[in-house]
């Protein structure tokens, strides 16, 4: 085994040096040809300067994983004394990783296999013992950076792999240079908004204004916007990174949620939307694809509402025209005036009502295939029902709330405060306490009477399975369809 080599370990993750040579430095710094950027707090980030590194629990490894904190984790026992090696072949000019473990080393989700090798490409994600236990992103410091990214952005951030693609561009994992603080960078290409002359000027001013509003928002259930770069071709938005995926996929995978889980998620969505409404912001594009989750455990996850910025850059007419999917979540007043009327923030309450409906039964309230009535007419007329086949187990209280949210007359529709005051939410002190705890983990918040349960909540959360297995469902009106616009 190779002797341990001195590594540049940056335990606190905030001291990683950049490779840019400092001209005034007399001492020749070693060439940092790569970096292991930590994405797991127990693993130190490493600047790679030697030709070979070994990582594992063994004392002879160059990167020894044996801190007290990592030893206390369940996964520690699954790490091998030498788990993997990273080797730079200076002759053939490539870098590879060799799996030496019993429980596996994974690159981008694929198991390498014991004693096998895999070439490491820029941005490769390395996981240990389980493909979900991702610990490092490998950065090839000599890889060509995307020249389309403006220097102002590149100076501050290292852009890594793509983590998603939306209607207006891509979302990339990014790190602040010199640290391992991870964010999501959303890149919105302006070519999607064909605007000319004065219109373009107004648009750019609007972006500037909106971005300053968005950056000031701070609520646990609203995705944080940390930085915005507006360039002639694109807007770069640095967002809080959320790793549990979308509510949309979670509902599809689970079939539906029980009432207690739904209430836990829904209260958070409502508190996020209330915060926006209190700041005079209407989201306008609420749908399960825009609700992100921080954890794979649906009963322990924070909800993060996203995309509230983009919908403010475009008006309802554009929003409507650009829908190529279903307008399932659009309020009737938006549809009936083809997006050209003026609307209140009650459009968000309608959309939340649709989301609540879908969470409880796993199918949407409106569907193309119902009764020959076009979808938009169904929405405008409020033609939805609660068929016993799917709703008999669901409380009357939540059906009452849905009716009051999905009320076609926006004047009579509940406000977001009204939703939070509805007995289904307001009288469930256990749920309120759970939500407060997940939103403000370091605070002990007393609730009026924790332990008292609402009559409409018929099962204790602890008796429910954490995450039901995907269930095949006979949907009354089809699965929820992903909305693309
Ligand atoms: P859309 O245009 O469809 O609303 P987005 O551009 O917001 O989509 O996002 C595209 C993909 O990137 C989505 O699958 C989403 O899950 C993912 N994504 C967006 N924002 C974040 C984030 N802050 N953290 C992690 N993933 C994100």
Q: What is the CATH number of the domain that holds 174?
A: 3.30.200.20
Expressed in angstroms and rounded, the spacing between residue 50 Cα and the centre of ligand 1 is: 37
Task: Say if residue 191 carries a ligand binding annotation.
Answer: yes
The CB-side HSE value for 261 (13 A sphere, CA atoms) comes to: 24
Longest Cα–Cα distance of the chain, Å, equals 80
pLDDT digits (tens, 9 = 90+) for 128-155: 999 999 999 999 888 877 778 898 998 8
The answer to whether residue 365 sits within a structural domain is yes
Give the other-Cβ count within 10 Å of 193's Cβ: 16
Q: Are 351 and 469 contacting, i.e. CB atoms less than 8 angstroms apart? A: no
Question: Which amino acid residue places its CA nearest to atom 2 of ligand 1?
Answer: 166
Protein residues with CB under 6 Å of any ligand 1 atom: 163-168, 171, 184, 186, 223, 239-242, 246, 289-290, 306-307
How does residue 168 score in pLDDT terms, banded at 50, 70 and 90?
A: confident
Once rounded to an integer, what is the mean pLDDT over residues 87-96?
Answer: 88
Q: Which residue puts its alpha carbon closest to atom 23 of ligand 1?
A: 241
pTM over 0.85: no
Q: Number of folded domains in the chain?
A: 3
How many angstroms separate the CA atoms of 364 and 284, rounded? 18
Tell me the three state secondary structure of residue 111. strand
User: In the 8-state DSSP scheme, what is residue 246?
Assistant: B
> How far is the centre of ligand 1, averaged over its atoms, from the C-alpha of 162 (Å)?
10
Residue 464 lies in a domain: no
Q: What is the DSSP string of 96-107?
A: EEEE--SS-EEE
Q: DSSP E strands: which ranges in 105-150?
A: 105-107, 110-111, 117-119, 125-128, 134-140
End-to-end CA distance of the chain: 55
Structure tokens at 425: 């939410």
Query: In which residue are the tokens 């790679």 written?
Result: 48
Which CATH number belongs to the domain containing residue 102 in this structure?
Answer: 2.60.200.20
Residue 463's pLDDT band (cuts 50, 70, 90): very low
More confident residue, 78 or 205: 78
> C-alpha 269: how far from its chain's center?
14
User: Which pLDDT tens digit goes with each residue over 321-365?
Assistant: 444 446 889 999 988 887 677 789 999 999 999 999 999 999 999
- Cα-atom radius of gyration of the chain, to the nearest Å? 25
Q: Are residues 126 and 195 in the same domain?
A: no
Of 211-225, 426-440, 469-483, least confident by mean pLDDT is 469-483
Give the residue from 240, 265, 293 where a domain finishes.
240
Q: How far apart are CA 306 and CA 286, in angstroms?
A: 9
Strand 63-64 and strand 84-89: pairing?
unpaired
| Residues noted as catalytic | 285
Ligand 1, atom 15, lies closest to the CA of 164
The span from the CA of 265 to the CA of 478, in Å, is 23
Q: 191 CA to middle of ligand 1, Å?
A: 19
Question: Where a domain ends, among 117, 140, 163?
Answer: 140
How far is CA 249 from each of CA 117, 246, 308, 355, 362, rounded to the nearest angstrom? Answer: 34, 6, 19, 13, 11
| Cα 237 to the center of its chain, rounded Å | 14
Instruction: Check residues 204 and 366 and name the one with the higher pLDDT.
Output: 366
188 CA: nearest ligand 1 atom: 6
Instruction: Please check whether residues 96 and 54 belong to one and the same domain.
Output: yes
Domain housing 305: 247-312+323-439
DSSP state of 289: G
**11 and 73 fall within a common domain:** yes
Are 267 and 355 a contacting pair, CB within 8 Å?
A: no
Of the pLDDT bands very low, low, confident and very high (cuts 50, 70, 90), residue 309 is low
Query: Phi and psi at residue 175, in whole multiples of 5°?
Result: -125, 145
Asked whether residue 471 is assigned to any structural domain, the reply reads no
Q: Answer with the one of 140, 175, 201 that is the final residue of a domain.
A: 140
The mean of the pLDDT values for the chain is 82
Q: How many CA atoms, within 13 angstroms, populate the side-chain half-sphere of residue 236?
A: 20
Tokens found for residue 298: 């649906």
Is the same domain home to 15 and 130?
A: yes
Looking at ligand 1, which residue's alpha carbon is closest to its atom 6? 166
Query: What are the tens digits of pLDDT across the range 240-280?
Result: 999 889 999 999 999 999 999 999 999 999 999 999 999 98
Ligand 1 geometric centre to CA of 164 (Å):
5
| Pocket-testing residue among 39, 161, 164, ligand 1, by greatest number of atoms within 8 A of Cβ | 164
- Give alpha helix (H) positions in 27-116: 68-71
């Amino acid at each position: 085994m190779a002797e341990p080599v001195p590594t540049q370990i940056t335990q606190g993750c905030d001291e990683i040096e950049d490779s840019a040579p400092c001209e005034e430095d007399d001492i020749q710094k070693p060439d940092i040809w790569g970096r292991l950027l930590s994405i797991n707090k127990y693993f130190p980030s490493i600047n790679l300067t030697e030709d070979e590194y070994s990582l594992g629990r063994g004392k002879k490894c160059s990167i020894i994983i044996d801190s007290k904190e990592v030893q206390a984790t369940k996964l520690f026992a699954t790490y091998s004394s030498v788990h993997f090696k990273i080797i730079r072949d200076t002759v053939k000019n490539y870098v590879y990783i060799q799996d030496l473990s019993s429980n596996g080393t994974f690159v981008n989700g694929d198991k390498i296999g014991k004693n096998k090798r895999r070439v490491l490409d820029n941005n490769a994600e390395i996981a240990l013992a389980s493909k979900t236990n991702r610990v490092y992103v490998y950065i090839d410091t000599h890889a060509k950076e995307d020249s389309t990214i403006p220097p102002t952005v590149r100076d501050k951030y290292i852009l890594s792999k793509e983590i998603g693609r939306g209607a207006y561009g891509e979302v990339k994992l990014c790190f602040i240079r010199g640290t391992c603080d991870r964010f999501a960078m959303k890149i919105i290409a302006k070519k999607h908004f064909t605007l000319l002359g004065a219109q373009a000027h107004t648009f750019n001013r609007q972006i500037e204004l909106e971005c300053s509003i968005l950056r000031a928002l701070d609520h646990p259930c609203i995705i944080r916007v940390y930085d915005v770069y507006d360039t002639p071709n694109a807007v770069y938005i640095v967002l809080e990174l959320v790793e549990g995926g979308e509510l949309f996929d979670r509902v599809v995978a689970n079939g539906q949620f029980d009432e207690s889980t739904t209430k836990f998620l829904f209260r958070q969505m409502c508190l996020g939307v209330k915060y926006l409404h209190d700041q005079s912001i209407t989201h306008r594009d609420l749908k399960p694809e825009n609700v992100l989750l921080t954890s794979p455990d649906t009963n322990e996850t924070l909800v993060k509402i996203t995309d509230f910025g983009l919908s403010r850059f475009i008006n309802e007419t554009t929003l409507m025209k650009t829908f190529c999917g279903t307008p399932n979540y659009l309020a009737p007043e938006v549809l009936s005036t083809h997006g050209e009327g003026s609307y209140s923030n009650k459009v968000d309450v309608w959309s939340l009502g649709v989301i609540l409906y879908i969470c409880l039964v796993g199918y949407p309230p409106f569907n193309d295939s119902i009764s020959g009535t076009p979808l938009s007419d169904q929405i405008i007329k409020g033609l939805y029902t609660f068929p016993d086949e799917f709703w008999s187990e669901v409380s009357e209280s939540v059906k009452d709330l849905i009716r009051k949210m999905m009320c076609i007359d926006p004047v009579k529709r509940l406000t977001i405060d009204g939703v939070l005051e509805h007995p289904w939410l307001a009288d469930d002190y256990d749920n309120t306490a759970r939500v407060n705890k997940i939103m403000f983990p370091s605070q002990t918040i007393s609730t009026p009477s924790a332990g008292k349960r609402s009559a409409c909540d018929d099962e204790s959360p602890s008796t429910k399975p954490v995450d039901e297995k995907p269930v095949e469902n006979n949907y009354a009106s089809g699965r929820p369809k992903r909305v693309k616009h």
